[in-house]
Structure 1
Amino acid sequence: MWRSMRFAEQWRDAWRAALQTARLAIGVPDYDAYVAHVRAHHPGDVPMTREAFCVERMHARYGRGRSRCC
């Protein structure tokens, strides 16, 4: 039974890592990771709201005034 529980935990962790990688590859910002980072490394700061975070990420990605492909 212990082996099956450990395997399930490893499978879940691998699945989460794969999802995060896929989201990063297609440009979906990870708000939960951002909040965890702010709370762990900047305890005096208040994290942005989800909406503000998404707007900031979109501006960082597309707000340069030109296409990134050329």
Structure 2
Amino acid sequence: MELVARLLAFRKRAVQTARLCCGVPDYEIYVKHLREHHPERTVPSYAEFFRERQEARYKGGGGRCC
């Protein structure tokens, strides 16, 4: 079972790295950031998050919130 857990953790990190290479931050980390630093904001769905990140990347949208 430990091997399966390690493989799943490796896969999660690999997916996160691939997304960062494409300019898409990890959704789970983004949600955690919102809840810790911007509790008044609504957490977007993954689809909303992805669309907003793509627009920001390819349409020259705003930068980081903090």
In structure 1, which of residues 55, 59, 70 is the aligned counterpart of residue 51 of structure 2? Answer: 55
* Count of residues paired in the alignment: 60
Corresponding position: 1:6 with 2:2: yes
- TM-score, length of structure 1 as denominator length: 0.56
In structure 2, which of residues 40, 45, 63 is the aligned counterpart of residue 44 of structure 1? Answer: 40
Distance 1:12 1:50, change over 3 A: closer
- TM-score, length of structure 2 as denominator length: 0.58
Structure whose alpha-carbon radius of gyration is higher: 1
**Which of the pair has the greater relative contact order for Cα pairs under 8 Å at 6+ separation?**
2
Distance 1:18 1:51 in 2: 21
Corresponding position: 1:17 with 2:13: yes
Identity %: 42
| Contact kept? 2:27, 2:49, Cα under 8 Å | yes
In the alignment, residue 39 of structure 1 is paired with which amino acid?
R
What runs of 5+ residues in structure 2 fail to find an aligned partner? 61-66
What runs of 5+ residues in structure 1 fail to find an aligned partner? 65-70
